[in-house]
Amino acid sequence: MIVTVFRSRLKDESRTDYFDLAPQMGALAQTMPGYLSHKVFTADDGERVVIVEFEDEASQQAWAVNALHVNAKKQGRANFYAEYNLKVCQLLRESKFKADGS
């Protein structure tokens, strides 16, 4: 599994445009072969964290070079982000627990 961790801070003046585009990119990601999941978290200080999981590196790379995603990334650098940090990681180990036993 490949896990992408995308940490960012938005420019105040671009929030509306960003929040119009972000759901479209989330929906597009879900159509990609190998897509497993994504979650978005926002911290009290305004930092946003997106965690995206793909089955393998080829699937993640296909998402990275998808034409619509590439265009959105260009818009992000030009208009939306004050800063960001992107990490693409390979899963080494996973452990799960549910208290209800399922």
All structural domains of the chain, each given as residue ranges with its CATH number in brackets, are 2-90 (3.30.70.100)
Could you read off the pLDDT of 56-97 as tens digits, one per residue?
999 999 999 999 999 999 999 999 999 999 999 999 999 999
Show the beta-strand stretches assigned E in 11-96: 35-42, 48-54, 81-90
pLDDT at 100: 85
**How far is Cα 64 from Cα 99, in angstroms, rounded to an integer?**
36
| pLDDT of res. 72 | 95
Which residues sit opposite 3 in a β-bridge? 53, 89
The pLDDT assigned to 102 comes to: 61
CA-to-CA distance for 26 and 45, rounded, in angstroms? 23
Task: Give tens-digit pLDDT for 4-60.
Answer: 999 999 999 989 999 999 999 999 999 999 999 999 999 999 999 999 999 999 999
Higher pLDDT, residue 27 or 101: 27
